[in-house]
Amino acid sequence: MSVKVGLVSLGCAKNLIDSEIMIGHLAKAGMTMTGNPAEADVIIVNTCSFIDASKHEALEAIYEMSDGKATARRKDQKLIVAGCMAQRYQGALPVVEGAKGRVELPQVDAFIGLDQVTNIVPVIEKVLGGAAGRTEFVAKTTTFIPDYDTPRFRLTPKHSAYIKIAEGCNHPCTFCIIPRIRGRHRSRTVESVVKEARQLVKEGVKELNLISQDTTYFGMDRWTEERPNPRSKVDSTKGESLASLLRELDTIEGDFWIRLLYTHPAHWSDELIDTIAKSRHVARYVDIPLQHISDKMLTTMQRETSGDYIRDLIKRMRLGAPDMAIRTTFIVGFPGEAEADFNELLQFLEATRFDRVGIFKYSKEEGTKAAKMEGHLSDEVKQERYERAMLLLQKLSKERGERFVGRKIRVLIESPGVGRSQGDAMDIDGIVKVPKKLSVGEFAEVTVTGAEEYDLIAK
C-alpha cells in the first residue's frame, strides 16, 4: 500500500522551498500527498520560528495535528515536526499556551532539522516501522543547500517559482535568531542557479524569485580576499557575485522576470545597480530591509550600516535605475528607541517615499542579544508607534497609487482579475485589479484607471 503523507507548511518562501524538496523526495519514493489529515499515514508540520508570533503559529499547528492524532480513528498515524523550530529547540520544544492550558506535545514521533529535508523518506520509514517515542534527527550545525538537480515539487503557481541561491547568514543583527538556526552563509554556484533557472523557464515559469537570507552576499562567502568598498564600480573581480549571477541569468532566452528578494543594504554596489538597470529580465524591483534610519538604533541593532550610508544608497539606486520600485521593512519599538529616533524614522519615510513598506513591532526573541538589552519598551508604546507609522504609510501608499493613474504598465496575471506589476512581489505586495478575461500566467499591457490604498485598478 502506498504511504499517504499530509504536510502543513508554515513561514516564509525559504521554508516553502524546504517543503517542496521534501515533497519531491516523497514523490520519488512513490509516496503520495493528501490534503485530508484523516487519510494520512504520516503528517509533517514544517515550522517557522523567526519571531514569537510564528513560533506560536507553529505550536498551534503541531498541537492541532497531535490532538487530532490522539483522538481520531487513525491511532497508528505518525507526526513529524520539521523546520526552523525543530532546529532551534532541538528536542526541547516549548509548551503550547492554549485554551486547554499548558499542553506539552507528547504525540510527536520525530523531529527533523534543516539538514534532514532530503532524508525525509528514511525518517518516515523508521517511524512507520515502529520506532517508539520521540526520535530526533537534528544536526547541531546546518550545512545543507539545494542544487539544481535536488528533487522538488513546486507549490507555487505554474507561472512563478522561488530559487534559493544561498542558505544561512553571517550578519550579527541583535534582534535575529536566523544565523543560529540556519548557520553560516553558503552560496550555490552561478552554474547551479542558472541550470535551475533555465529549466524553470523551459517549463513555462514567467517569474523567477531569487531568495536567501542575504541575497546580496551571494558568492562572497567564497572570496579569498576582503570584499571591496560597496561604492566600488566593480565588485565581482574576486569571484562570483550577485551581479555576475544576474548577468548570466539575463542570457537565458524567453519572456520572464527575475525578482530580487531579501537583499541586505551593506552589500549593494554601483555594479549591481548598473547590472539591474541594463538587464532585459531583472524586474525593476528590489526588496531591501533597512530596519531603521537612526544611527543610534542601527548601531544597537548591529546592522552594519548608518543613516548617511542608507540615504546615499537609496539616492544611487534611484539615479542608476530610476524606474526601480523599492520595498523595505522597518522595526519600531526596539529596545532603547526614543521618541526622537522614531520621529526621525517617520520623517525619513515621508521624505523618501518608498514604493512598498512593511512595519513590524519589535519582538523579543530568546537567544538574541537584543533580548538581554536594557530599555525594552512597553507593548502599549510599541503598538502606538506602529499605528502612527501605519497611518503615514497608508497615506503615502494612496498618493503613490494615484501617480500611476493614466499610465500603461505591464502585469503578470496571477489569477482571474488579479495581476502584479514589476513593483509587486508574490504574496507580499499589492495587486493590480484587471479584467477577468486576461489569461492567467501570461503578461498583459494594461492602463491604470484608479488607485486604492495598496492596489491599482486597470483596464
Predicted confidence (pLDDT) per residue in 267-278, tens digit: 999 999 999 999
Residue 227: pLDDT over 60 = no
Q: Which three cell numbers stand for residue 414?
A: 496571477
Are residues 324 and 318 in contact, defined by beta-carbon separation less than 8 angstroms?
yes
User: Which residue did the predictor score with more confidence, 220 or 97?
Assistant: 220
Torsion of CA 384, 389, 390, 391, to 10 degrees: 90
- Residue among 155, 95, 144 nearest 119 (CA): 144
Confidence of residue 105 (pLDDT cuts 50, 70, 90): low
Higher model confidence: residue 17 or residue 107? 17
Residue 371 φ/ψ region, left for φ over 0, alpha for ψ in the -120 to 50 degree band, beta for the rest: alpha
Percent of the chain, pLDDT > 70?
Answer: 90
Read off the pLDDT band of 49 (50, 70, 90).
confident
Q: Hey, what amino acid is at 22?
A: M
pLDDT at 339 over 60: yes
Using 50, 70 and 90 to split pLDDT, how confident is the model at 129? confident
pLDDT over 50 (residue 233): no
Burial of 305: CB neighbours in 10 Å, binned 0-12, 13-18, 19+: buried
pLDDT band at 51 (very low <50, low <70, confident <90, very high): confident
The dihedral formed by the CA atoms of 313, 314, 316 and 320, expressed in degrees to the nearest 10:
140
Report yes or no: 43 and 78 within 8 Å, Cβ to Cβ: yes
Mean pLDDT, all residues of the chain: 91
Q: Please compute the mean of the pLDDT values over residues 413-436 and round it to a whole number.
A: 97
pLDDT tens string 163-177: 999 999 999 999 999
Which pLDDT belongs to residue 74? Answer: 64
Give domain limits for the chain. Answer: 4-137, 160-401, 408-458
CB of 6 within 8 A of CB of 40? yes
With cut-offs at 50, 70 and 90, classify the pLDDT of residue 232.
Answer: very low
The stretch 4-22 carries a mean pLDDT of 95
Question: Residue 137 has what pLDDT?
Answer: 77
Alpha carbon 195 to its chain's center? 22
Q: Is 60 exceeded by the pLDDT of residue 230?
A: no
**From 88-102, 119-133, 136-150, 203-217, the region with the lowest mean pLDDT:** 88-102
| 11-36 mean pLDDT | 95
What residues have CB less than 8 Å from 249, skipping those under 6 apart? Answer: 193, 194, 197, 208, 258, 281, 282
| Residue-level pLDDT at 240 | 93
| Residue 9: predicted pLDDT | 95
pLDDT of residue 61: 87
Q: What is the pLDDT of residue 264?
A: 97
From residue 117, how far is each of 23, 137, 448 by CA, in Å?
9, 10, 44
Query: Per CATH, the architecture of 4-137 is what?
Result: 3-Layer(aba) Sandwich (3.40)
pLDDT (average), residues 194-216: 97
Whether residue 15 is predicted with pLDDT greater than 80 in this model: the reply is: yes
| Segment holding 13, helix H or strand E | helix 13-28
How much is the pLDDT for 434? Answer: 98
User: What average pLDDT does the segment 285-312 reach?
Assistant: 98
- How far apart are the C-alpha atoms of 458 and 418, rounded to whole Å? 10
pLDDT score recorded for residue 95? 57
Residue found under cell 533555465: 198
Residue 307 dihedral angles phi and psi, to the nearest 5°:
-60, -45
| Residue 98, pLDDT score | 45
CATH class of 408-458: mainly beta
CATH of range 160-401; options 3.40.50.1110, 3.40.605.10, 3.20.20.140, 3.80.30.20: 3.80.30.20
Burial class (CB in 10 A: 0-12, 13-18, 19+), 323: exposed
Distance CA 50, CA 417 (A): 33
**CA-based nearest residue to 307, from 326, 297, 293:** 293
Weakest-pLDDT range from 91-95, 195-199, 238-242, 326-330: 91-95
Whole-angstrom distance, CA of residue 447 vs CA of residue 420:
13
Number of H helices, E strands in the chain: 12, 21
pLDDT in tens, 178-188: 998 999 999 99
pLDDT at residue 231 tops 50:
no
Which of 92, 213, 192, 195 lies closest to 142, judged by CA?
A: 213
pLDDT at residue 252, as a whole number: 98
pLDDT at residue number 229: 52
Q: Is the pLDDT of residue 1 over 90?
A: no
pLDDT of 130: 74
